Structures are given as C-alpha cells and as structure tokens.
Structure 1
Amino acid sequence: MIWYTALVMAVACERFAELALALRNTRWSRALGGIEAGSGHYPAMVALHTALLAGCLAEVRLAARPFLPLLGWTMVAVVVAAQALRWWCIRTLGHQWNTRVIVVPGLPLVTGGPYRWLRHPNYVAVAAEGLALPLAHGAWVTALAFTVLNALLMAVRIRCEEGALAFATAAEVRT
C-alpha cells in the first residue's frame, strides 16, 4: 500500500500546484475585469475532490482492498493519461485556466489543443481520474461515490460555464 499512498499523495501535490496556478490566474483575470460565475458550487467541488483523495486511502486501508494487478496497473495508466490531458488543457488555456468560472470580457473562446475536439476536456480528465485513482487499488466504493457525485456537480458546473461564456459572447456581440 506504500506505493498507492505515494500515488495519492502525488495527485494531492498536483492539486496544490493547480490551486497555486489558479490563484495566480484568478488575480490576472480579475485585473482584466474578469467576472466570476457560479461561486456557490465551488466549495462543494473542493470538498468532493478532497474526499476523493481521503476516500481512496481510507477505503483501501479500512476495507483491506487488495491490489489486483491487471486492474490496478491499467487504472494507474488511466490516472497518468488523465494528468496529461489535464495539463494539456491548462497549457492550452494559459492564463484563462482556472478552478473557478471566471470569464474575461473581450477574450476569444479557446478552440485549440484538446478544445478542438471536446467542449470540456478537463472534465473528461477529472471523471477518468476520479474513477481510476480509487480503482488502482480496488477502492470501488470511493470510485462509485465520486463518479455519481461528480456527475451531479458537473451538470451544475457545465451549465454555469456555458451560461458565463454565452453571456460574455453576447456582451461582445453587443459592443
């Protein structure tokens, strides 16, 4: 279980790096007149992602989940692929990437990188990681709970983002 704890802690460190970058990008966006939408669901998102990491470790330890090599190594590969997709999204969006929904008036919609093929590729990465990280060591209850709760949260989040982008686009057309 030591390697699994190290994997979960590496993902946690990655989350802290994301938060530091998001804070910097939030300041940049607000300095350019960025408008935040949907801040009400943000605490639930933070709680869910924190619970994912804690749940992975707790379930494996408390329920004595075994490591199943075929499933485990396949899921580790999915976790790595999800991280690669997430950082591709972050790199493509540049200063516009954030963990919050902030739209800077006048900036064009990003359509490069993974956004060429998917409207919300970062959420594909989140869903894949949320399923794969727990399953890498058999934590199926955590995987199931995160997947269901994340789907509910993403329904709210994507509707919020789409509304914010539509508002920004409409405001740009009016000017």
Structure 2
Amino acid sequence: MKTKNIREITVRELVEEVDINRSTFYLHYNDIYDMLNKIEQQLIDELMLVTIKHKKEYYNEKIQLYFKEVFTILLENMDLCYILMGPNGDINFTNNLKELINENITKTTVEVLNGIQSIADIEYACSFYIGGCLGIIEKWLKGNAKESPTELAQLCYKLIYKGLESYLPKDVI
C-alpha cells in the first residue's frame, strides 16, 4: 500500500490487506474516498485539539510541548501518516494540515505582534516556519521516525527561535 498512489488503491486490495470482508468495509464507508476523507479528518481533528490546547505557548519555550504532542500523534499514526504524506500520498491531507497550522499560528502571531511587525511579514514568517516543520515531518517519516518526538520538538524550537545561526560557528557569522 505504501508504494501505490493512495487514490489508486481499490476496496478489494484494501480489504485483502487488512483482512476484512467487503460488506464490513461498506458498512462503515461508501467508497475508498469516503474512508480516506474520514481517516484524514480524524487525524486533522486530533491535531487541531493539540493546536488549540497549546495556543498560548507559541511564543516561549513551552512551544516544545506543542511540537512534542504533534510528533507523538504522528508517531502513533506513523504508517498512516507515511501513506498520506509520502511520495504516493494525498496532497489534500498535507494541504489541510498546513492550513490548520497556518490558520491557528498565523492568527495568534498577528494578535501578539500586530503593530510591532507588518502583517505581511508575519504571514511570510509563519509560512516559512510551517513549511520547514512540514519538511521535518516528511523527512522524519521517510527515515522511519528514528528521532523521538522530544528530539524533534527541540529541533523545531531551536530552528524557529534561534534559526540556523545556532548551528554556525561564531567566526562564520
């Protein structure tokens, strides 16, 4: 299943892979797309709850708790996330994930920094950070999630709040 485009998987292939019968599948879903949408929505909803829960922590070291929870959820659903975000995945899922994070983080960032930075600059910065975090998630999933959620939370925090400068020797800067 990981090697086939997610939109090309048939109900027959799926039920054989997970060892259920077709009638059980159709009891819960209309078709493969209905199943895909419901599974994606469950994962997005779970990530949304974490995003809302940590809303006030986007601007201090506690953001690591947010990242850790996100990476823990992704780790618990690693096979699914790889299928959804991998090379044969569903771009709609990645776009929905990006939209979820962008909507919440950008809105909160604008509330905090409005008047200090231009809204356009804030939106570009948030887009940059979110793209970087999604890149880290994709690389992590491709590498079979070798690093722990805590390690990746620390990495995201360090890159967002300290930037690449924290990796460079002082004489290079």
TM-score for both structures, normalised by structure 2: 0.31
Higher RCO (C-alpha under 8 Å, 6+ residues apart): 1
Structure index of larger Rg: 2
